[in-house]
Amino acid sequence: MTAMRICSLLPSATEIVGALGLTDSLVGVSEECDWPPEARALPVVTASRVDTSSLDSASIDRAVRDALADGLPLYTVDEALIASLDPDLILTQDLCAVCAVASGDLRSLRLLGGEIVSIDAHTIAEIEASVLEFGHRLGVPERGNVVVEEMEGKLADVRRLVGGAPRRRIFVCEWLDPVFAAGHWLPEMVEAAGGEEVLGLAARPSFPTTWEAVLERSPELVVVAPCGFDHARAAREAILPQLGCRAVAVDSNAYYARPAPRVADGVAQLAFLIHPELVPDPGLPYVECVAQRVPPVTTCVADQP
């Protein structure tokens, strides 16, 4: 049987393909695809029109809104390169116009011959379903079952450790400026980790809010997890008010914002951050953040390995 040639325009899809043991089937990826690490060496077939590496959170938000208002696609697609790679399967999404190329943007291109598959998980269960679907479609259903069983095992271990513990009030900040409350699977992650998300809504989109609204709900922990940022950048760009509680920046790009198997590791880290007396540190990176009164500058005091 000839191996399927896969072009992934979505970091979470690339991660799932890697988890299924099919990294060698990837022939092209997006600019944001960074896991498994081997993906970085593959031809890049899409890139964002907004250079987020050189902009702060407010500037990124403004640039994205301006582009969307003008009806411009946020991503360039190298149609000729994709055609030359001759993929059997092109993986993309319709969940978020900001995160990756949408399937509708591809269907208007004339040179693409591969089947276009859209992945749109909104919950942890739907992330697991995506893994199973990919495993079946790519001819490795047993491996898909194993990956999901590993995810469910990690979640079950966390729930066992925090079972019966008091629920801590948590706010997950999914964007910094403007402040966004978390949506989709992130509130589920908080619940599984023994917390109660004070603003975010499970299986619903994230939404803008204010620090004043957050403070009114008296969180006991603020998790700084801007979509697409790692822990170092999140901590560097976070300008926090006096929260009256601990604030921690995490690697959202790897373990929180991406609907892929590593969200189970993110749950384990959340449980450790919420209930350190009950849950061992899984060893994922995070940064403790301290807000100063005047000016409101965030200082990072402990970068964990």
DSSP of 29-65: EETT--SSGGGGGSPEEEEESS-GGGS-HHHHHHHHH
User: Could you say which of 142, 157, 187 is where a domain stops?
Assistant: 142
Exposed (0-12), middle (13-18) or buried (19+): which is 289, by Cβ within 10 Å? buried
Torsion of CA 202, 204, 206, 210, to 10 degrees: -80
Distant-in-sequence, close-in-space partners of 305: CB < 8 Å, separation ≥ 6? 283, 285
Contact between residue 244 and residue 161 where contact means Cβ atoms under 8 Å apart: no
User: Could you say which of 142, 177, 201 is where a domain stops?
Assistant: 142
Is there a single domain that holds both residue 183 and residue 103?
no
Is there a single domain that holds both residue 178 and residue 262?
yes
Q: Residue 119 is part of which domain span? A: 6-142
User: Could you say which of 108, 127, 142 is where a domain stops?
Assistant: 142
- Please tell me the predicted confidence (pLDDT) of residue 105: 58
* Spans in the chain with pLDDT lower than 70: 1-2, 71-72, 94-113, 291-305
Tally of domains in the chain: 2
Q: Is residue 156 part of a domain?
A: no
pTM for this predicted structure: 0.90
Q: pLDDT tens digit string along 63-103?
A: 878 877 776 677 788 888 998 999 999 998 765 555 556 55
The token duo for 232 is 């170092």
Q: Is residue 151 part of a domain?
A: no
Q: CB 108: neighbour CB atoms within 10 A?
A: 8
Q: pLDDT tens digit string along 127-175?
A: 999 999 999 999 999 999 999 999 999 999 999 999 999 999 999 999 9
Task: Report the CATH number at residue 267.
Answer: 3.40.50.1980
- Please tell me the predicted confidence (pLDDT) of residue 107: 55
Is there a single domain that holds both residue 170 and residue 275?
yes
The token duo for 229 is 């940022």
